[in-house]
């Protein structure tokens, strides 16, 4: 299993991250343990969570996913063998987006308690509040790193302007910098990342781990018409992709998948991994079949014809 180096750090991870926003939602603890075991047994080590997962289940503060992962690591005794990311700042049922120092410091301690660990390997600012100065958030994150509570910091849903401002502020003030970016990026959501963020990550040597890599399941081919939207609790989130271009993308994925004797989801993730500065996609699974499809993407080598076809049907 090859490893990807994150930014300018010494942190190395497998080229795919297991998304765990389904833990405590569509997957209970027993089922989550089964997926985590299969993931690590296959040689993968990169697990992605957030303090807000999965607050939407009960409208509360979240923490279900972190709690399950913490229980699993304690039971397996494998904390040193896995790389854990978590996030702070996202809105839950009890507070709005909050990236102020007080919330970041308190949020980190709560995450550490739920994860039953002394440190988080990669800690993301999950969302952003333009009213909070980047200096306030960055100094809080820098203090967490100095205290050993987080090893490295990263960013998710920041605007291009705020991301650039943050990276420059860290550099000019000798503070911890965002080593990774987790943006929305997939075959049906290309333009925003490629036009606004790709130049920034290239300039600042930031490793990218896209979320919603399968477009809420659309790129698996599970949802082909409006009649399919009731197949899962996440179905309504893909309705916006049921258009002419979305169908062309699914047809192309089917064509490439048949050529390589694999699944559309595997092809979609392999395409993403082939893009510049991508460390690996973030993808979730609720069954071992789904897990095998996403893991297989790390060994699928798309040829020039495959990439040209997928690029063409997904162009903006």
Strands 12-13 and 4-5: antiparallel
Q: How far is CA 62 from CA 18, 79, 125, 228, in A?
A: 19, 22, 16, 29
Cβ neighbours of 190 (radius 10 Å) = 18
The pLDDT assigned to 100 comes to 98
Task: Specify the pTM.
Answer: 0.96
DSSP string of 17-68? EEE-TTBTTTB-HHHHHHHHHHHHHTT--EEE--TTTTGGGTTS---HHHHH
Task: Walk along the chain (316 residues) and give the pLDDT tens digit of each residue.
Answer: 789 999 999 999 999 999 999 999 999 999 999 999 999 999 999 999 999 999 999 999 999 999 999 999 999 999 999 999 999 999 999 999 999 999 999 999 999 999 999 999 999 999 999 999 999 999 999 999 999 999 999 999 999 999 999 999 999 999 999 999 999 999 999 999 999 999 999 999 999 999 999 999 999 999 888 877 777 766 678 899 999 999 999 999 999 999 999 999 999 999 999 999 999 999 999 999 999 999 999 999 999 999 999 999 999 9
The pLDDT assigned to 78 comes to 98
- The HSE-up count of residue 189 (CA atoms within 13 Å, CB side) is 18
* Alpha-carbon gap, residue 231 to 220, rounded angstroms: 13
Q: How far apart are the first and last CA of the chain?
A: 34
Buried b vs exposed e over 260-285: b needs ≥16 C-beta within 10 Å?
A: bebbbbbbbbbbbbbbeebbbbbbbb
The pLDDT assigned to 104 comes to 98
H or E element, residue 179:
strand 178-181
The pLDDT assigned to 182 comes to 98
Confirm if 37 and 6 have CB atoms less than 8 A apart: no
The pLDDT assigned to 233 comes to 66
Map out the domains of the chain with their CATH numbers: 4-313 (3.20.20.100)
């Amino acid at each position: 299993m090859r490893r990807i180096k994150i930014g300018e750090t010494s942190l190395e991870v497998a080229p795919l991250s297991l998304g765990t926003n389904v833990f405590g939602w569509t997957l209970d603890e027993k089922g989550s343990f089964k997926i985590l075991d299969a993931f690590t047994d296959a040689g993968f080590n990169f697990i992605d969570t957030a303090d807000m997962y999965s607050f939407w289940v009960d409208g509360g503060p979240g923490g279900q996913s972190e709690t399950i992962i913490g229980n699993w690591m304690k039971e397996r005794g494998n904390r040193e063998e896995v790389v854990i990311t978590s996030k702070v700042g996202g809105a839950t049922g009890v507070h709005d987006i909050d990236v102020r120092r007080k919330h970041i410091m308190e949020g980190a301690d709560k995450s550490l308690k739920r994860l039953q660990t002394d440190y988080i390997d990669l800690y993301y600012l999950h969302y952003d509040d333009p009213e909070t100065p980047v200096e306030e958030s960055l100094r809080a994150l820098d203090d967490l790193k100095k205290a050993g509570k987080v090893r490295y910091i990263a960013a998710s849903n920041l605007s291009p302007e705020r991301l650039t401002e943050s990276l420059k502020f860290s550099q000019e003030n000798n503070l911890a910098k965002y080593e990774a970016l987790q943006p929305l990026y997939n075959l049906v959501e290309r333009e925003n990342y490629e036009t606004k963020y790709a130049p920034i990550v290239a300039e600042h040597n930031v490793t990218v781990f896209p979320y919603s890599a399968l477009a809420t399941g659309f790129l698996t081919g599970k949802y082909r018409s409006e009649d399919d939207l009731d197949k899962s609790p996440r179905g309504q989130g893909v309705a916006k992709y049921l258009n002419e271009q979305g169908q062309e993308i699914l047809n192309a994925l089917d064509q490439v998948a048949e050529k390589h004797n694999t699944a559309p989801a595997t092809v979609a993730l392999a395409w993403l991994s082939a893009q510049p500065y991508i460390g690996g996609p973030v993808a979730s699974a609720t069954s071992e079949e789904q897990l095998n499809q996403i893991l297989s993407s790390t060994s699928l080598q798309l040829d020039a014809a495959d990439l040209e076809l997928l690029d063409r049907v997904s162009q903006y």
